Chain A
Amino acid sequence: MSKRYLIISGLFVLTLAITIGSVSSCKKLMPDMIDPNFGVCGPVDDLTNSQTILFSRGNDQFFAIRDAATGLGPYFVSNSCGGCHSSDNRGHPFTILTRFGQTDSTGNKFLGQGGPQLGSSNLPGYTPEQIPAGAASSKFIAPITAGLGFLEAVPDTEIINMARRNANNPDGVRGHPNYSAVPSNIPPLYGSVPRADGKYICRFGRKASTYSLVQQVAAAYNHDMGITSDYMPINPYNYLDQTAPPASSPEVNNDDFNSVVFYVTCLQTPNQRNADDPTVKRGNALFVQIGCETCHKQTLKTGYSPIAALSNQTISPFTDLLVHDMGQALDDGYTEGDAKTSEWRTTPLWGLGLARNVQGGNIYLMHDGRAHSIQEAIKLHGGEAAASSARFSKLSTQEQNAVITFLNSL
Chain B
Amino acid sequence: MKRYYCFPVLIVLLTSLSAGAQIDSSLLNGMAKTDTTRKKLSMDAIYDRPFLKMGKLPVAIGGYMEANWQYVGTSGISIGNQFQFRRFSLFAASSISNRIKFLSEIEYEDDPAGDPDEATEGGKFEVEYAAIDIELHPLLNLRGGMIVNPIGSFNENHDGPKWEFTDRPIAMTQMLPDTWSNPGFGAYGKEYSGHWMYGYEFYLSGGFNDSIIDNTQGRTFLPATKASTTRFTKSASGEPLYTAKISLGNDRIGELGLSYMGGVYNTWQIEGATVDDKRRVNVFDADFNTILPWTHTNIVTEWAYIAIDIPPNYPQSYGNRQFGGFIDVVQPVISGRMLGWQHATLNLALRGEYVDWNVGNFAATGTPMYNDLWSVMPAVSFRPTPQTVLRLNYRIQNQRDITGSTIGATIGQTRGISFGVSTYF
Contacts and interface: CB of A to CB of B under 8 A. Distances in A.
Contacts of A357: 405-407
A276 interface: no
Interface stretch (A13-21, A174-182, A278-286): A13-21
A23 B405 contact: no
B250 interface: no
A30 B76 CA distance: 7
Contacts of B337: 1-2, 5
Interface string A355-367: 0011111101000
A231 interface: no
Contacts of B216: 64-67, 70
A198 interface: no
A197 interface: no
B419 A20 contact: yes
A329 interface: no
Interface residues of B, number: 63
A241 interface: no
Interface residues of A, number: 61
A358 B402 CA distance: 10
Contacts of A15: 380, 392
B282 interface: no
Contact of A67 (B214, B406, B408, B413): B214
B417 A121 contact: no
Contacts of A33: 75-77
A31 B75 CA distance: 6
Contacts of B413: 31
Nearest to A362: B367
Contact of A94 (B365, B408, B419): B365
B364 A87 contact: no
Interface stretch (A75-83, A163-171, A242-250, A392-400): A75-83
A358 B156 CA distance: 39
A113 to B, nearest CB: 18
Nearest to A40: B407
Contact of A121 (B215, B266, B315, B338): B315
B394 A19 contact: yes
Main secondary structure on A side of the interface with B: loop
Interface string A93-133: 11110000000000000000000000011111100100000
A354 B213 CA distance: 32
A9 B339 contact: yes
B122 to A, nearest CB: 18
Contact of A12 (B78, B213, B382): B382
B217 interface: yes
A317 to B, nearest CB: 20
A337 B326 CA distance: 55
Nearest to B72: A30
A233 interface: no
Nearest to B217: A65
B392 A19 contact: yes
A83 B346 CA distance: 46
A174 to B, nearest CB: 34
Interface in B222-248: none
A41 B407 contact: yes
Given A30-B76, A93-B365, A94-B363, A39 B394 contact: no
A358 to B, nearest CB: 4
Contacts of B340: 1
A387 B227 CA distance: 60
Contacts of A364: 365
A122 B365 CA distance: 21
B317 interface: yes
Given A24-B71, A123-B214, A360-B367, A5 B407 contact: no
Interface in B335-376: 337-340, 344, 346, 362-365, 367-370
Most chain B Cβ neighbours within 10 Å, of A39, A59, A72: A39
B314 A34 contact: no
A16 B419 contact: yes
A82 B315 CA distance: 14
Nearest to A122: B313
A360 B296 CA distance: 44
A359 B403 CA distance: 6
B71 A360 contact: no
B55 interface: no
Interface string B202-218: 00000000110111111
A39 B407 contact: yes
A23 B214 contact: no
A86 B276 contact: no
The 6 closest A-B pairs by CB, nearest first: A33-B76, A39-B407, A360-B404, A65-B218, A30-B73, A31-B413
Interface of B: 69, 71, 73-78, 81, 210-211, 213-218, 266, 275-276, 279, 311-317, 334, 337-340, 344, 346, 362-365, 367-370, 380, 382, 392, 394, 401-410, 412-415, 417, 419
Given A5-B337, A31-B75, 13 more contacts: A5-B338, A20-B69, A27-B78, A29-B394, A30-B76, A38-B407, A39-B408, A68-B214, A79-B317, A87-B407, A92-B364, A92-B365, A94-B316
Interface of A: 1-2, 5-6, 8-9, 12, 15-16, 19-20, 23-24, 27, 29-34, 38-39, 41, 59, 63-70, 72, 77-80, 82-83, 86-87, 92-96, 120-125, 128, 354, 357-362, 364
18 contacts: A5-B337, A16-B419, A20-B419, A23-B71, A27-B78, A30-B73, A31-B73, A31-B76, A34-B408, A41-B409, A66-B216, A80-B218, A83-B315, A86-B408, A94-B316, A94-B403, A358-B405, A361-B404
